[in-house]
Amino acid sequence: MKDYIINCKSELKASDDAAGVIEGYASVFGGIDSYNDTIEKTAYDNVLKSNILPRMFFNHSHWELPIGKWDEMSVDETGLYMKGKLNLNLDEGRDVYEAVKFGSVDGLSIGFRMDEDGASFDDDGVRHIHNVKELLEVSIVTFPADKSARISDVKSALEALDNVKEFERFLRDAGGFSRSEALALCAKARKIFNPQVSELPKEEDINLDPAVAAMRKLNSVLRGN
């Protein structure tokens, strides 16, 4: 089972009825995103049965405090609809709410867990996601769907990295690496650029094949392929 982040076609708006309340579609059925993924109408059946609501973050910053909470989740013919409330006692919660009301932020993005048999590919190479195991988060995001916007966001994240821990988080969030893959890459990088560091896994114990494959995918995204 692996974790995924998908920026589907989505929409978000602030409610006119109550302060802090936001609602919108976290994903829309039938569309094809820039990673060639599409969400089928059966995708959230197990999620709805579990009755477990996802966390709310801004731009998938799941290592920080949630900026609010989702209170309602449902599926209709259009897609997965979410309704929740931003925590206006937090600075980031207030800032995001004002940005949503202003219209400068209007996207949602899902972070979920899926088994390998939860998706299948058609003859055109489109991956059809039909069974989400767990919906971990629905984030409010600046760039929900556009491919060029995603690339800009990834480049900005790269420029902002200051330490190994942040690089590990970046690999997991933007590159789709598992925790073990991200740690392996970080360990290898530290060994290359700082040979005096001694407390690292032995090179023969580090399996970089899955990480290399994921890095190639990330490189393809950055180059716009």
How far apart are alpha carbons 137 and 148 in whole angstroms? 23
Q: For 108, which DSSP code?
A: E
Q: For 19, which DSSP code?
A: T
Strands 127-129 and 37-39: parallel
Catalytic residue, from 23, 109, 168, 181: name it: 109
Annotation marks residue 109 as catalytic: yes
Catalytic residue, from 60, 139, 168, 181: name it: 60
Annotation marks residue 77 as catalytic: no
Catalytic residue, from 10, 23, 27, 137: name it: 137
Q: What's phi and psi for 220, nearest 5 deg?
A: -65, -40
Annotation marks residue 139 as catalytic: no
How far apart are alpha carbons 76 and 82 in whole angstroms? 11
Q: How many CB atoms lie within 10 A of CB 76?
A: 10
Place of tokens 């925590």: 87
Could you list the active site residues?
A: 60, 109, 137
